[in-house]
């Protein structure tokens, strides 16, 4: 990987920021206010960090246009500091130097079609009829099942497992330990035993999707499990068979979504939520963390269901009060 360096004039132009300072000043990395050095650029988005701003060693800081701080070094102004920080982090992201390398320890079936402009890391296993397009990065220990398609500029981190017939879009990121396409919970009662329902479906993932470490995405029992363009999943999320996630929906860590749930576009679902099977959540819904969703959400808006931390005796009083109301 290659480290990057930019001068402030370049950064201002690329991120559409207003620079007040030296356009030739060199920046080599991004850091927080407390730990930044003179070659770092940082960002200030809340007055609670005012002391850190006054004491920072950062060579430059991104600030709100309305900020009148006493910071006297190089300043870059914007209307949305958090968005500017996101774009800045992408600007300094390290990239692989050699995208024309297949490690000699990788096991690749002879029928697999792999672009000559991709990277396949040590001990990866690519099965028959897999298609891997240009710009794809497959790190060590990745397993890709037969008939799967990995489209261009997607990055798959170490020890990820992709089951057969998975379709993975362009510019996706799969973090370590994700499992895509395993069977869901499908069993029929037969007396005191369970008969397995064989899952013959697959998983289809759109473009610009990010799937966090340790996520498990079940394939459909019939048909497909769908993750649409722009979806962002935090770590250790479970998505059961035949689910549908709409475009640009974001879900927090440790949320579990049961089978055949449909979630619309531009939703935000907090961590540690539970969502029961066979319900629908419409577009533009925000659900706060630790909410248990037991029925469909038909109207866009903000919903919550978890209890805030309180002393146990006060919690008992609250429960008792709610029971009296019933």
Please give the domain boundaries of the chain with CATH numbers for all domains.
Answer: 6-91 (3.40.1390.10), 160-303 (2.160.10.10)
What is the rounded CA–CA span in Å between residue 213 and residue 50?
34
Residue by residue, pLDDT tens for the chain (326 residues) are: 556 899 999 999 999 999 999 999 999 999 999 999 999 999 998 888 889 998 999 999 999 987 766 778 899 999 999 999 999 999 998 877 678 899 999 999 999 999 999 999 999 999 999 999 999 999 999 999 999 999 999 999 999 999 999 999 999 999 999 999 999 999 999 999 999 999 999 999 999 999 999 999 999 999 999 999 999 999 999 999 999 999 999 999 999 999 999 999 999 999 999 999 999 999 999 999 999 999 999 999 999 987 778 899 998 888 888 778 76
Q: What is the DSSP string of 172-211?
A: -EE-TT-EEEE--S-EEEETTEEEE-----EEEE-SS-EE
241 catalytic per annotation: yes
Q: Point out which residues pair with 220 in neighbouring strands.
A: none
Residue 7: C-alpha distances to residues 27, 29, 41, 57, 141 (Å): 6, 11, 10, 17, 38
Global confidence as pTM: 0.90
The catalytic residue among 175, 199, 238, 241 is 241
């Amino acid at each position: 990987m290659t480290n990057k360096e930019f001068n402030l004039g370049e950064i201002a132009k690329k991120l559409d920021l207003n620079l007040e300072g030296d356009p030739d000043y060199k920046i080599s990395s991004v850091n927080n206010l407390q730990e930044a050095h003179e070659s770092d650029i940082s960002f200030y988005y809340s007055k609670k960090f005012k002391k850190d701003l006054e004491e920072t060693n950062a060579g430059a800081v991104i600030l709100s246009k309305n900020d009148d701080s006493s910071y006297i070094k190089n300043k870059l102004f914007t209307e949305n500091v958090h968005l500017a920080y996101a774009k800045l982090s992408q600007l300094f992201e390290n990239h692989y130097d050699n995208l024309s390398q297949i490690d000699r320890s990788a096991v690749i079936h002879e029928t697999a079609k792999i672009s000559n402009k991709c990277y396949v890391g040590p001990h990866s296993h690519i099965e028959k009829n897999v298609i891997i397009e240009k710009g794809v990065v497959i790190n060590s220990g990745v397993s890709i099942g037969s008939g799967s398609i990995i489209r261009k500029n997607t990055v798959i981190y170490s020890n990820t497992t992709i089951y057969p017939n998975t379709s993975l879009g362009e510019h996706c990121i799969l973090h370590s330990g994700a499992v895509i396409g395993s069977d869901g919970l499908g069993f029929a009662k037969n007396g005191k035993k369970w008969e397995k329902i064989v899952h013959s479906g697959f998983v289809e993932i759109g473009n610009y999707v990010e799937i966090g470490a340790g996520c498990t995405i079940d394939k459909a029992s019939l048909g497909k499990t769908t993750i649409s363009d722009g979806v962002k999943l935090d770590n250790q999320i479970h998505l059961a068979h035949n689910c549908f996630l709409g475009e640009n929906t974001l879900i927090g860590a440790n949320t579990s979504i049961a089978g055949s749930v449909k979630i619309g576009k531009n939703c935000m679902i907090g961590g540690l939520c539970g969502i029961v099977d066979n319900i629908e959540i419409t577009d533009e819904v925000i659900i706060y963390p630790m909410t248990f969703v037991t029925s469909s959400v038909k109207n866009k808006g903000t919903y919550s269901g978890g209890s805030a931390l309180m002393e146990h005796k006060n919690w008992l009083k609250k429960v008792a009060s709610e029971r009296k109301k019933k």
